[in-house]
Structure 1
């Protein structure tokens, strides 16, 4: 019978991923060598190679584990059975809280996943589509006519455009937190999407 990984192994790997995410977010994936990663992680280079064969696999695990957390957030919101507006509002709020908590991982997802190998990139893209679909479904609950025009996913991407880039201008030591901004985003979005189909009969997919 194969032996499982020791708890200390998983803890060390999690610490490596956190430190690597911080380095990638600061310097970019291409500017971070395995030597620099080992230094940032506080381990020797040979020990780093014991956990990861190359930095591409580190990047993949950062992205994969982060999106898994986003999918878990979605599952948690769905399980609450909220009404339509509250459901979308809670999704936005929980995502923005996660963006703040996992600031480095979010930057890596936005700027560095394009450097993944094809097979790895395909796995991440499939999970990202599940995230977008969940938001698209939430939006259709509010404005059902979007589905008939095949606009539910484009409109979901507009919403992601509002929240995914907040890290470029939101300051962690600023007056407003990510949670403070969540109802602002939701309010603006809901006021724009409700009744959109009826008011824009000329818009077609």
Structure 2
């Protein structure tokens, strides 16, 4: 009879992925060793190999896991009966909030996907394209004229340009967090600079709550 997984196996595996993503994001995939991953996890190197075959397996799971979660978000929002504009706004806000919890994984996906073998890279990129297509289809529904002019995909990529590189400048403890910036991104994209509403101050928030 096959042995079942020990209690806490999935939690331990998730922790290893998180620590590896942090190291890859800070140092880059090529410059990070399995010894460093093990040290960051507080585990022995043989213990890491109990969960992952090698460093490449960590990279693949970080990239594929992150893009799979993003793809699932698109599918989840698409299944809701939202008008196109509300659907796009919801997609933007859900993605920005997801990035808040996966900054390191997103950076690894953005910068280190090129180190994947061709077949694995293709699978990850296909999921990325499906994510972009979900946004692009919604943009085309909002602006059929843009779709007819062949620029709905370009508009979508401009939107991803705002969201995907947020990790390079949105710092923890700053005036805005991911929750606060999400509607700003949506306002800016949906209506241009004049549609952006400034976030409420703490005093204004308290007045609204009363």
Q: Same fold (TM over 0.5)?
A: yes
Partner of 2:25: 25
- The answer (yes or no) to whether the contact 2:71–2:128 under 8 Å persists in 1 is no
Partner of 1:151: 151
Aligned-residue offset at 1:85: 1.4
Query: How far apart are the structure 1 equivalents of 2:118 and 2:40?
Result: 27
Q: Would you say how many aligned residue pairs link Structure 1 and Structure 2? A: 192
- The answer (yes or no) to whether the contact 1:56–1:117 under 8 Å persists in 2 is no
Structure 1, gaps ≥5 residues long: 193-205
Query: How far apart are the structure 2 equivalents of 1:35 and 1:178?
Result: 33
Aligned-residue offset at 1:65: 1.1
- The answer (yes or no) to whether the contact 1:25–1:107 under 8 Å persists in 2 is yes
- The answer (yes or no) to whether the contact 1:88–1:135 under 8 Å persists in 2 is yes
Please show how residues 16-165 of structure 1 align to structure 2 within 5 Å.
16-165=16-165
Aligned-residue offset at 1:130: 0.7
Aligned-residue offset at 1:147: 2.5
Q: When the two structures are superposed, what TM-score results if normalisation uses the length of structure 2?
A: 0.85
> What is the alpha-carbon root mean square deviation over aligned residues?
1.7
Structure 2, gaps ≥5 residues long: 193-210
Query: What stretches of structure 1 move > 6 A for 4+ residues in a row?
Result: none
Q: When the two structures are superposed, what TM-score results if normalisation uses the length of structure 1?
A: 0.87
Please show how residues 165-176 of structure 1 align to structure 2 within 5 Å.
165-176=165-176
Q: What's the CA shift string for 1:33-89, capped at 9, x where partnerless?
A: 111111112211112122222211101101111112112211221222111211111
